[in-house]
Structure 1
Amino acid sequence: MTSTRREDIIAFQFSSWYPIFSSLSIKSTILPLDNDFKLYLEADGVFVPTGSEDLPPNSTLSLEECDAHQDSDDEATSRYAFPQLDAQVRAVIREYHAVFPKLNFPHQRHDAAWLLPSTSPLKCTSPADVYLLLKSSDFITHDLSADLVFEGCVDNDDAPGTLEYRLELVLRKWFAIDRSREMRAFVRDGVLLGISQRDMNYYEFLNEPEMQKKIVSSFSAYWAAHIKSKWTGPASYTFDVLLTRDLTRFHIIDFNPYAPRTDALLFTYNELAAFPTATPPTLRVIDSHAHPAVTRNAPEHQHNMVPLEALALSQGRNVEEFAAAWADHVRRGTAESDDESEE
């Protein structure tokens, strides 16, 4: 793999490629973020800025607990308010009905998706939803620092003003994605080498020989016609797509570097390096429920998953105070459940 320059990295920034491929991608809006919002994302604690909530949160906390939580959060939230950004986000939500957010660069999966309803993960209908999802994610720290974004680049010692990096909020129109049709493609030196299933679960229809032949043929033709000549970044890259229902076309989700920082999924980069360049691309899918890559229903980022009420009760309390408050909360919930079952 060749050495990476900062301009190569910037090519994978959403605002770099989306204007070129917007007709093939999910409808999206890019909003610039100022340093105050960056400070909010970097601040300790999980809270939403003043004025960003459209409706009271759907919580099982009692009124007394909500009041106590609000008192402990007042000092933090009062320092952060983004009325202009709130208005912009609300305008986009009105247009798209719901959005899912990201910052400048792609992330493999959103580790904070569990904060929103499991029936519609990443579906945001208010600025508070957007901010909470970003604030609760560990992955976005990469995008907050230019040093991390350009880490390892061969031209990092050049004059810093030659390539300005600005934080951006990307709001993409939300819709329910059929994960069985998500694919990642690998291009080396302008040649499409491989296509991998992204969701690590077994799907029977993907293992039908005629279906696989159709995917490889249609995918290759569509890439050659609509991406190959228009891509302006490095000659080696990967890109994520959602196949259409008839599997003949695709919608672009993101572009990623052709490098170990991007998961090779069902391939390895050593395998890809050995692939011949004069044959059709190789399609890899999960071929059985026993495949070692199958997720076996284990939730992603489960180390981050705690109840929203626990996050609320933890604000402004030390470990002992939180333990007592949580035990009391559980007792109340159990008592209420018993009362309801007796009615």
Structure 2
Amino acid sequence: MNSIYLHSVVENEHHNPRQLSPLQTPDYLLSFQFSSWYPTFSSISIKSTIIRPLSQAFKEYLDSDGIFVPEGSENVPAESSPSDQEDEDDAAVGQSFSFPDLDERIRQIIKEYGAIFPKLNFSSPKDASWVLPPSSPLKCTSPSDVYILLKSSDFISHDLSIDAVFEGCQCDSLNLPSYQLELVLRKWYPIDRSREFRCFVREGRLIGISQRGTNFYDFMNEPQTQNKILETLQRFWGDKIKSEWHGQQDCMCHILLSVFTQGSSTPKLRIIDSPLHPLASRNAPAYQHNMLPMEALALSSGRDINDFSDLWKNEIQQSLNDDD
């Protein structure tokens, strides 16, 4: 591990900062949005550009029904050719949204970085990575890639509503602080998932480290490797982050609370130590529930593959008949 980078302070994959601390104040939550911490840690983080303010039309696009590409956002204009009614309808919907200024800004950043991956204030569209080539997950080379990735994500919906962002806050709902949606474009590069770790901090002390993914890596069972991980990340935390982090001093997952109460002076390392580990990844793709319509998931409940196939075909045919 010759180099270490701070990937994010808190990224809303399935969670948000409210689940990491009881300090549910607006200032606490906003200290975790990207623009709050990136300027301080930009030298040790992935090169990124924050775009804001964003137009109301762009927010409406992200919050609108359906998945479609805004007009003019693709790098290569589509050639005219006969198409079915569905394609024509999609094109008509796409033309109702157009962001030429934002398109140009994104293209400039792509030219500078080579390729990018997007996120919003808190959330990454990791659940929608399947819409782009699996060989290069989340890699965007055009504005349309950015838009379709965000549009296909359920995770980012958290960031679109001020009510969702400050839900459960210990404050007057009528006096919430200003919240501004931001589009973050980060330089894309292939990441070795076996070198990603999540660190847990309580009262300004690093108490735990865990691998970020759920794959089993045999080499992580080696004591020498585990010691190297602990030593390197402890040094990185102490030298690069601890003295510069001016937000709240608690950032931890509830499963490590017992580690803190035991008074251990050394962070605990948690890894997937066996292919049979309860959390170890199986063959099913991550976020597979986001790859199917909600109707399909509902129909599949309690049915075998043959019953589901017949029923789904009937549903599609019924929908076509209704359209006629």
TM-score (norm 2): 0.80
Instruction: Tell me the residue number matched to 2:17.
Output: none
Within 2, Cα distance between the matches of 1:275 and 1:77?
56
Within 2, Cα distance between the matches of 1:146 and 1:177?
32
Is it true that 1:320 corresponds to 2:317 in the alignment? yes
Gap runs ≥5 in structure 1: 238-257, 259-263, 308-317, 325-343
Q: Provide the identity percentage.
A: 51
Q: Is the 8 A contact 2:123 2:156 kept in 1?
A: no
Instruction: Tell me the residue number matched to 1:112.
Output: 128
Query: Which of 159, 176, 186 matches 2:190?
Result: 176
Instruction: Tell me the residue number matched to 1:284.
Output: 270
Instruction: Tell me the residue number matched to 1:212.
Output: 226
Change over 3 Å in CA distance of 1:2–1:71 after alignment to 2:
closer
Is it true that 1:271 corresponds to 2:258 in the alignment? yes
- 5 Å-filtered alignment, 1:25-174, equals 25-32=45-52, 33-55=54-76, 64-65=82-83, 68-107=85-124, 110-157=126-173, 159-160=175-176, 163-174=177-188
Provide, for residues 197-233 of structure 1, a one-character-per-residue CA deviation record: whole Å limited to 9, x for no partner: 1110111121110111111112111101110010111
Q: Which moved more, 1:83-92 or 1:214-223?
A: 214-223
Dislocated runs of 4+, deviation >6 Å: 321-324
Name the amino acid aligned to 2:39. P
Q: SS where residue 127 of structure 2 aligns?
A: coil
Q: Is the 8 A contact 1:99 1:123 kept in 2?
A: yes
Q: How many residues align?
A: 279
Instruction: Tell me the residue number matched to 1:327.
Output: none
Provide, for residues 248-289 of structure 1, a one-character-per-residue CA deviation record: whole Å limited to 9, x for no partner: xxxxxxxxxx3xxxxx4xx71443443415x11011111111
TM-score (norm 1): 0.76
Within 2, Cα distance between the matches of 1:9 and 1:299?
31
Within 1, Cα distance between the matches of 2:110 and 2:200?
33
Instruction: Tell me the residue number matched to 2:33.
Output: 13
Within 2, Cα distance between the matches of 1:99 and 1:323?
39
Name the amino acid aligned to 2:98. A
Within 2, Cα distance between the matches of 1:291 and 1:52?
44
Change over 3 Å in CA distance of 1:225–1:204 after alignment to 2:
same
Within 2, Cα distance between the matches of 1:322 and 1:90?
39
Shift of 1:71: 1.5
Name the amino acid aligned to 1:226. K
Within 2, Cα distance between the matches of 1:173 and 1:68?
38
Change over 3 Å in CA distance of 1:225–1:270 after alignment to 2:
closer
Q: SS where residue 185 of structure 2 aligns?
A: strand
Within 2, Cα distance between the matches of 1:72 and 1:321?
19
Shift of 1:290: 0.9
Name the amino acid aligned to 1:94. K
Within 2, Cα distance between the matches of 1:112 and 1:106?
12
Q: SS where residue 299 of structure 1 aligns?
A: coil
Is it true that 1:295 corresponds to 2:281 in the alignment? yes
Q: Which moved more, 1:44-53 or 1:292-301?
A: 292-301
Q: SS where residue 191 of structure 2 aligns?
A: coil
Within 1, Cα distance between the matches of 2:119 and 2:247?
21
Shift of 1:106: 3.6
Gap runs ≥5 in structure 2: 1-20, 294-314
Q: Is the 8 A contact 2:220 2:271 kept in 1?
A: yes
Within 2, Cα distance between the matches of 1:81 and 1:23?
34
Within 2, Cα distance between the matches of 1:63 and 1:207?
57
Within 2, Cα distance between the matches of 1:106 and 1:80?
23
Within 2, Cα distance between the matches of 1:157 and 1:275?
38
Provide, for residues 22-44 of structure 1, a one-character-per-residue CA deviation record: whole Å limited to 9, x for no partner: 01000000111121101001111
Provide, for residues 293-315 of structure 1, a one-character-per-residue CA deviation record: whole Å limited to 9, x for no partner: 101122011122259xxxxxxxx
Instruction: Tell me the residue number matched to 1:193.
Output: 207
Name the amino acid aligned to 1:86. D
